[in-house]
Amino acid sequence: MSVEGALLLTVLLPLLGAILIALSDSRPNIRETITLATAVVLFLIVLQLLGHDTGSIELVIATPLPQLSLSLYTEPLGLLFATVASGLWIITSIYSIGYMRGNNEQNQTRFYVFFAISISATMGVALSANLFTLFVFYEILTLSTYPLVTHKGTEEAKQGGRVYLGLLLSTSIGFLLVAMVWTWHVAGHLDFTVGGILQDKIDPGFLPLLLALYLFGIGKAALMPFHRWLPAAMVAPTPVSALLHAVAVVKAGVFAVLKVTVYIFGLDFLHNTGANKWLMWMAAITVILASVVALTKDNLKARLAYSTVSQLGYIVLGAMLVNSMAIVGGGMHIATHALGKITLFFCAGAIYVATHKTNISEMDGLGRSMPVTYTAMLIGSLSIIGLPLTGGLWSKWYLALGAVAAEQWAMLAVFMVSSLLNVAYLLIIPIRGFFFSQPRSGETSVIKEAPFASVLALSLTALGCIAMFFFAQPLYEMMVDIFER
Amino acid sequence: MISAHLPALQVVIPLLAAPACVVVRQSTLTWLLALLVSWISFAIALTLLVQTFFNGPMSYELGGWAAPLGIEYAVDVVNAFVLVIVSGVSSVVLISAKESIERETHIKRTHLVYTGWLLCLTGLLGITITGDVFNVFVFLEIASLSSYLLVSLGPDRRALTAAFQYLVMGTIGATFILIGVGLLYMMTGTLNMADLAQRIPGVAQTTTVRAGFAFLVLGISLKAAVFPLHYWLPNAYTFAPSAVTAFMAGSATKVSIYLLLRFFFDIFSETFSLRTMRLDLILLILGVIAIFSMSLVAIYQSNVKRMLAYSSVAQVGYMVIGISLATTTGLTAGIVHLFNHALMKCALFLALGCIVFRLNSVDLKDLAGVGRRMPWTMAAFVIGGLSLIGVPATVGFISKWYLVLAALERDWWWLAFMVVASSLLAVIYIWRVVETAYFKTGPVANTEEAPLILLVPTWVLIVANIYFGVSAVDTISFATRAADQLLSTF
């Protein structure tokens, strides 16, 4: 298969899957088989693309306006994101089957259809060759995840959906669109170019403003004060929270931030003008504040959501340190945090299916009834904190190195303090699960592990967290590739 | 050589077919006749557009009388583009009109709808194609009188008041235009547009010409529903038959905007109308007020048709802002939005037509749960709404892009932000409908999906919304050419 064909397929295949899923409405087994098959084939196609990452093969799908095209290409950062998202889609599909059936959720077909469309949009974001393409798929991703967020159709879901759509659309149309038109106006195109496209094209005095428009405009990166959509999105079924709101959607945000920093502004240009300084502090504030808020949340998914906000802040902060080490760290963090956080969400969902409990304070002693789930949760937490024997160590390592290289000691301190806060709000959950005693109540039912499909999925991702510790080298080399082209 | 007479045929064919409808009277036959004539007009308009784009402007002397004395039909890229919009909208909407109109209008009066429709089409095409300002007035009256008739044929008795209101306002507008034309004739002794353009600079400083200009601007703005002269529009759109609303929303105001462009840039010069008379500032302010206030008003409507009507006034605001910028990009934005807005509003009103067909209501509360019962109709409404908001890969995005670009070119930051901020208001009013349709559970009425003949035209327009949003190179090149031509001297 040619690279162009493979590129196009990454976007089209999930769409085709969506159509087939819609057609097999009344036959759940066939429907789920199609989902899984699509996910596996998509992953294989993305893997095949990995071999071609050095080339800059571009596929133009359409040209809406002169000098403005919908195009896809292969680039290390995008391939990494595509690999992570498509790989985790397989595992999430397995998990969904257990979760959706175990919970007897309504409208399962609609759920799988929009899930597939969201993946298609994610692939488009990951492989976009210019900012305009990224923006188009970014908006499709917002819209296609809306029916998933509001899946339950309750008043709460509707409210959550309003915040979700309201914040994401208003930031992207209100800021990102203006920033994009501005860039197009001064640079004449929006192609992702090594070294940036803005050098000598714009008065450096305007640079902080433009950068701010981008960073706040990419609402999916959840930079405070535009982070509220992420906790609001937690009304969605857990597989959605796991894959979309810990991996695809939020990573699309920070991915866009990294792309814009590296390929639109250019690291040297930003470094020389110092436009990044105040936004670096905004990211630092997000990292710390979100961690503190996470500490106060008793609802497990809400705590995980704020943890995600904080971890996304790491990557934005990495981008704003504007050196290659920090960018490498940020890129690796996309992958390691994805694995860690999806594990935690899987665990939260498994606990919900097994016990219908959502609050951490009610989960004392559950670890002894659900050992696999809680072990996975422990591993996931360790990875997010960044402790050895998990992949999370490496991304934090390089992020910290980036802070040192930039001689931003305050930022180094932010990384350290936040890691301590992570320990406080994440590790406490498995500790309470294993060591606290179960409250005495009149319940007679014996709590068991969640359905096999769900447990299998969360075990796989937990193992992935550990594997990343030992096999971080290829990941690192892939990221360094960004700067060697 | 029939092709040489295309400009005349463009107007004459629908004009002759209109009385034929009264003779035939039978509902289905009149519909078929109107449909046929409308598609012929569309084909002629497309031919004219292609010819003018490649061969430059063409002129047609009506009855063989030479230009200054006789009536000239002058076709260039600008009005050929508008001809295509008007006849195209009419043709697509007419497909669905039969079912929709038979449901909403008394069977004895359906042939009047098609008669009025064809007369209105004649008028609109005539205004657009003619090169003679008095002829503009004549066609304007034809279009206006027939549209009063069309509005009055609405299903509800309130249509009569709406039509009367429209009649009063419309007549004021038409009278103003006539006075304006008269004053210009007094000072220049000509009615031909090209002639006027040459002679006006000599007398531009006189109060008479300025007064004439003022009358013309007010009269046309009233017809175009430029804020705050939009008073007639919400009622007319709300109470007219659904198909008529879709037709009018896609054509009538568009033609008036075209007329403004013609007068501003060709007959009077850009310097005179925008700089000397300070219309750039006036239009800019009015446009900005329009996009905010009318979108806000739209948010509070309980009748979805009326909501879209207010949204139309807001959208006219975007076009006016584009014109007021008086740069190539600004004008391109205005002109391309003319086309894009026709596509999206027409699609939305057709979707509403489907809903009226099944539910006999467009009240927001009656739409509860309609998303499940009429999935295709509501899906069309959602996509049309997204286009109105300006989501990428729809035509609305192209308009927004150019308008923001035009504002940035002039370094008007505040304007760029206002344009995007106001489009967020559209999110609110569209999403009110979406939430009601999908999250509320309505009565368990066994409503079915609308019939195919209503759905197909709706979806044709929806697909066009996406198609021209994904490949806008052609529309943009037409619009840019038109803008360049308007900005250069006649």
The pTM is what? 0.90
Please state the rounded mean pLDDT for residues A240-262.
Answer: 87
Tokens 């009656």 appear where?
Answer: B366
For residue A251, give every residue at least 6 positions away whose Cβ sits within 8 Å of its Cβ, in sequence order, or none: A81, A84, A85, A334, A338
Cα–Cα distance, A76 to A335 (Å, whole number): 13
Domain membership of residue A50 (yes or no) is: no
Asked whether the beta carbons of A151 and A103 are under 8 A apart, the reply is no
Residue A431, in any domain of the structure: yes
Q: Is residue B71 part of a domain?
A: no
Q: Judge whether residue A471 has pLDDT over 70.
A: yes
Q: Which of A181, A185, A210 is the mutation pick for testing B, counting most B CBs within 10 A?
A: A181
Which chain B residues have a beta carbon less than 8 Å from that of A203? none
Q: Which tens digits make up the pLDDT trace of A63-91?
A: 888 788 888 888 888 888 888 888 888 88
A175 within domain boundaries: no
**How many folded domains does chain B comprise?**
1
From B398, B427, B469, residue closest to A169, measured CB to CB = B427
B392 contacts A136? CB cut-off 8 A: yes
B478 contacts on A by Cβ (under 8 Å) = none
Q: Are B476 and B340 in contact (CB under 8 A)?
A: no
Per-residue pLDDT tens over the stretch B104-134: 877 778 888 889 999 999 999 999 999 888 9
B148 within a domain of the structure (yes/no): no
- Does the distance separating the beta carbons of A169 and B424 come in below 8 Å? yes
Task: Measure in Å the smallest separation between the Cα of B469 and chain A Cα atoms.
Answer: 7
Say if the Cβ atoms of B389 and A173 lie within 8 Å.
yes
Strands B58-61 and A58-65: unpaired
The pLDDT tens digits of the residues spanning B155-214 come to 888 889 999 999 999 999 999 999 999 999 988 888 888 888 888 888 888 888 889 999
Q: How many domains does chain A have?
A: 1
Mutate which of A141, A169, A182, A229 to test chain B, going by most B C-beta atoms within 10 A? Answer: A169
Chain A residues touching residue B408 (CB < 8 angstroms): 178, 181-182, 185
Beta strands in B53-166 (DSSP E): 58-61, 72-75
Instruction: Give B100's Cβ-side CA count (13 Å radius).
Output: 33
**In sequence order, which ranges of A127-246 are alpha helices (DSSP H)?**
131-149, 155-171, 177-187, 207-217, 229-232, 238-243
First to last CA, chain A: 25
How close does chain A come to B408, measured CA to CA in Å? 7
Domain of residue B465: give its range: 278-490
Q: Which residues in chain A touch residue B389, judged by CB atoms under 8 angstroms apart?
A: 169, 173
Q: Is B391 on the interface with A (CB under 8 A)?
A: yes
Return the closest-CA partner of residue B144 out of B71, B224, B235, B82.
Answer: B224
Q: Which of residues 431-490 of B touch A (CB under 8 A)?
A: 431, 435, 438-439, 469-473, 476
- Do B472 and A166 count as a contact with CB atoms less than 8 A apart? no
Mean confidence (pLDDT) of chain A: 85
Nearest CA in chain A to B431: A162
B386 touches chain A (CB under 8 A): yes
Region A322-339: mean pLDDT is 88
- Taking only the tens place, the pLDDT of each residue in A126-158 is 989 889 999 999 999 999 999 888 888 888 888
Chain B hits for A184, Cβ within 8 Å: 405
CB contact under 8 A, A173 and B416: no
Closest residue, chain A, to B440 (C-alpha):
A153
- What pLDDT does B205 receive? 85
- Identity (one letter) of the amino acid at B182? G
The B residues from 218 to 247 touching A (CB cutoff 8 Å) are none
Q: Which residues of B touch A165 (CB under 8 A)?
A: 427, 431
Contact of A139 with chain B, judged by CB distance below 8 Å, is answered with yes
Residue B80, in any domain of the structure: no
| Domain enclosing residue A463, as ranges | 276-485
Residue B108 lies in a domain: no
ipTM: 0.86
| CB contact (8 A) between residue A170 and residue B424 | yes
From A210-224, A322-336, A443-457, B7-21, the region with the lowest mean pLDDT = A443-457
* Residue B321: pLDDT band with limits 50, 70, 90: very high
Residue among B390, B391, B473 whose CB faces A63 most closely = B473
Phi, psi of A226 (to 5 degrees): -105, 40
What count of CB pairs under 8 Å joins A to B?
A: 73
Q: Which chain A residues contact residue B404 at CB under 8 A?
A: 177-178, 181
Q: In this complex, do B405 and A181 lie within 8 Å of one another by their Cβ atoms? A: yes
Residue B289 in domain: yes
List pLDDT tens digits, range A5-25.
Answer: 888 888 888 899 888 888 887
A189 touches chain B (CB under 8 A): no
DSSP state of A406: T
